[in-house]
Structures are given as C-alpha cells and as structure tokens.
Structure 1
C-alpha cells in the first residue's frame, strides 16, 4: 500500500509535468494544440484528416509524426538491429491507441495531396535513423519540401504548417 506522502509526491510530479507541457504548448509551439481535455476548446477535428494532413501523437515527452493518406505513412524508429524504413500503418500501429492530432484550419483538417503522393513514392525505403537529424519529423517535413531533412528536429514539423495554411492542431476522434 502506498503511503500518503508517496501519493502526494506522485501527484506533485504529475502536476509539474502537466504544467511544463502546457507552458511549452502555450508559448513554444507555433500552433495551438486542442486536446480532448482542454477547458476552453476541446472540439475534435470535423471528420477525418484530409489526404496529406500532418498527423502526430504523443510519445511521453516526445512526439511521433507522419502523413495521412487513408492510413499513415511514417518513418519508423530503429529498434534492435532492424533498419528503419518508411512504411504505411494503421491508426493503432501509429499511436498505440492514443489520440492522434491533425493539422487544421479552425476545425477542418487541411492537407496537401502532393505531400501524400511524395510519401507514397518513398514507401518501403530504408533510411539511416538518427534521433535528432533523420527522424519521423524530418520525413514529414520532407514530404512537403521534397528535400531530405538533415537539420536537428526534435519536435513536430510546425514550420511546414504554413504550406497548409493551418492554424491549429486538433485531436481526432477516430473509431
């Protein structure tokens, strides 16, 4: 049985983590993130993502991103000796059942079919993976620019959101 002090400490750590995440999302990211738990605006995206939408999910304190094309095309991470590659996956394979966030203009998903086409053209391509310089966010940005990304990317590819004229990220209520 957990002591009252341990419960209090765990609660305090959780609250500090949430405050830090909220601060980061409020002041450090380019577009607001509307989560299901938001007090002011918790509305999900209307319908499904558009073909070529940027999609992402939380991975603890990090995020994983890809391109929506009916399924999600993403650059897998390297696990054990398996090479990473660009592959298409279903929603559960992408997020493990957690919420997926979608590039939106107000409540409507926005995407670029050319980005989806670029992603399709690179399906099954193997890549050298680097957590900082050649990762899923770099591949997602590459789908919009056509240029392989070799800069440090440790967060969602907000910079290509201008190509979509997006103004926020919304959670997707998928079944």
Structure 2
C-alpha cells in the first residue's frame, strides 16, 4: 500500500519548512507536547523566544488555532523562559495557576511566537508573565504561578535546549 499525499500532509510540510530564521525544533514537555507540537525556540541573546506554526491539526472548525492549543503553548512558555533567565536551578515547574487573556486569533498557517519573563521566585513558587503574538499581532497575554518541583538532572543545565 502506498501513501498518497493529503491536504494535511501538504499543510504540515509547508508549516515545517516555513519556520523563521534562527528557530530550532526543540524537544521538551514530554509526550503530550511531542504529539501536539512541534515547538521551536530561539535565544535572542537576552530572552528565549518560543513558537510554532499553526497547522490544520491545531485548528478549530473556523480554521483558527484552537484555544486549547494556545493554552498549552502558554503553559509551556513561562517555564521554558525560566530555564534561561536568572540563576535559578533547572526544575520541573508544574502549573499552580494560569491566566490567559485571548486578544486575537491565530489563523491556519500563522506563526505563533511568545516571550515571557520571570517576575519573582520564592523557595516554593515561580511567578511569570508573557505575551504571545500571531504573525506579529497580539494574541494572548498570560501570567502564571508554578511550583518549584524536583530538580531536572543536577539542576545546573544553563542551555538545556542547545540554543546558545
């Protein structure tokens, strides 16, 4: 049996080939993100940028990115940014609270990109916020609180995604 190209295959191939310069595919977040990604990251020299191209499988019936996919992306954004900010040990950061303000849509084929900052850390929690755009237009404002979980490895990885 031979595989014939479908519209989904064409959209997926186009999306994978159309990633902004400097972004690399990254493996993070376990099987759920692997299944729902791919996610791409870039180190700007000061901040981690995280992004993905909206594929048909990410979309709702109106051909815009499903809010659940955007929420998943937002949930990854702040912990990923934390890996590259400050001097904190690298830890698993389970979500305690996540607030999302949906400000705009991300159409099929749009490049969704986010950047976040850590606002404060305590012994037990991390507080952060971020902004997500779709093709350069504001799409989400996000803030969250994350639990300081167990160390990942020995906690000393300064470039866990290999971006620097």
TM-score, structure 2 as length reference = 0.29
Query: Which protein is bigger by CA-based radius of gyration?
Result: 1
- Structure ranking higher in helix proportion: 1
